[in-house]
Amino acid sequence: MPKKKTDATPPKEYTYYKASVTVGKKADGKPERIYVRGKTPQERDEERDRIKKLYARGLNFREITVSEWSDRWMAVYKANASDTQKDHYKVKLKNDILPSIGSLRMRSVRLSHLQELLNKYSGKKKGTVEKIRNALRQLFADAEVEGIIERNPALRLELPMLEEKPRRPLTEVERDALIKVAATHPAGAYVLTMLYTGARRGECIALERSDIDLERRRITISKEINLRKNVGTVEKTKAAKMRKKRVKPNEDAGVRVVPIPDVLLSVMAQLCEGKKSAIYCFPSQTKSGRRSKPLHGGGSRFPGNATSRPERSFTETL
């Protein structure tokens, strides 16, 4: 007789251990089952017990709607996402996904429903529609893992015809005009720092005097100022927030050191002159050019004396 398979290793054809849960009977009298899976036998058994408890309390996964599942999905699967990512998913769900399919049962959603949803955005910006598709794929992929649906209907979603504007670098004429205006504009050092170092706007605004080493001719970029709900907060850089740290946190993740080119060195030396280590390099200024208090009231509130968006006035001058 062939040996009975044990839970020591999963079958080769599967990535997960699987099990079924009988949750009732169908109209024809046959048992109605939900299939669960886990990466280990213990994880599979815990998921099976959880499903049983949910059905005992009256929650029927066969009847759960997209709207109900999205609430649980955000609370469980996106619990460790950054605040910016959470806001992104909430906006996509509220404005784009739930108005179209929120009332549908998860098991009733078909590829045609999702493709029709995306087709409504034909001619829109590619980046926006790609984010909606990614949110749909994750939403239904995690529902498949939970055993709510048997297969992911969003796997074969195709993008409609979209507007795609390629990014281009500055031309020589534009670059020369930018450098010329920067020589006399109050925000000139700020713009030149982004131009020659590749720093993002939020990273540049968050630079402090201590981040600039004139002797070694380098800039350490370790944080950024992010504007959320009209309030600026100091956070880790975008690269650090996107990096997954599941075992040992790495304090240097997302920190990069950028050399100061010769053309920028004199600008940075003048910028750092007389500034203490904890002072922002690009403080907000009044119309008279003097440093002002942090913006408040109807404007954006930034920590310390950091500025909001000096490139606006620079662009107008340019």
Closest CA to 224 of 246, 242, 247, 249: 242
Lowest mean pLDDT among 70-74, 199-203, 292-296: 292-296
| Residues near 146 by beta carbon (within 8 Å), at least 6 away in sequence | 36, 47, 61
Closest CA to 141 of 127, 155, 128: 155
**Virtual CA dihedral for 169, 173, 175, 176, nearest 10 degrees?**
170
Task: Return the SS3 of 235.
Answer: strand
Q: What pLDDT, on a 0 to 100 scale, did the predictor assign at position 302?
A: 47
Q: Buried (b) or exposed (e) across 210-228, using 16+ Cβ within 10 A?
A: ebbeeeeeebbbbbbbbbe
H/E run at residue 169? none
Of the CA atoms within 13 Å of residue 260, those in its CB half-sphere come to: 19
User: Which pLDDT tens digit goes with each residue over 107-140?
Assistant: 899 999 999 999 999 888 888 889 999 999 999 9
Task: Pull the structure tokens for residue 225.
Answer: 């100022």
The overall average pLDDT reported for the chain is 78
Closest Cα partner for 101 from 55, 128, 148, 66?
Answer: 66
Q: Contact 73/142 with Cβ under 8 angstroms? A: yes
Q: How many CA atoms are closer than 13 Å to the CA of 167, on its beta-carbon side?
A: 3
Q: At what angle do helices 83-92 and 126-146 cross, to 10 degrees?
A: 90
In this structure, how many other beta carbons lie within 10 angstroms of the beta carbon of residue 77? 17
CB 208 within 8 A of CB 280: yes
Rounded CA gap, 245 and 150, in Å?
31
Segment 223-230 mean pLDDT: 75
CB atoms within 10 A of CB 253: 15
At 184-210, the pLDDT tens digits run: 888 888 889 999 998 888 888 888 888
Q: How many residues does the chain have?
A: 318
Which has the minimum average pLDDT: 97-106, 144-153, 161-170, 192-201? 161-170
Tell me the per-residue pLDDT of 2-32, one tens digit each, with 9 for 90 and over. Answer: 555 455 454 555 467 888 888 777 778 888 7
pLDDT at 289: 40
| DSSP for 9-27, written as a single string | S--TT-SSEEEEEEEEE-T
For 234-287, the pLDDT digits (tens) are 777 766 655 554 445 555 667 889 999 999 999 899 888 887 776 888 876 544
Q: What is the pTM of this model?
A: 0.59
**Gap between the Cα atoms of 189 and 219, Å rounded:** 14
